[in-house]
Amino acid sequence: MRHLQAYTVEEVAEILHVGRDKVYYLLRTGQLRSLKIGKLRRITDQHLAALIEALEEGNTTP
């Protein structure tokens, strides 16, 4: 089994050097996917990689 990292919205904001509101915007618009565990929202390293790949290809605007 491979190791999977899951981040909070705040951690993703720090990683991307953006504000929490921007991360919530990306989630709301479907540009960034996440997992919902109860009331908690977690963003995996795979979700982040997909967002970055889409941004590099010009398929989305942050």
Q: Supply φ then ψ for residue 8, to 5 degrees.
A: -80, 165
Q: What is the residue whose two structure tokens read 């618009």?
A: 29
Percent share of the chain, pLDDT over 70: 90
| 42: pLDDT strictly greater than 60 | yes
What lies within 8 Å, CB to CB, of 49 at 6+ separation is none
Per-domain residue ranges of the chain:
6-57
List the single range of 4-8, 22-26, 36-40, 56-60 with lowest mean pLDDT: 56-60
Interval 12-39 mean pLDDT: 96
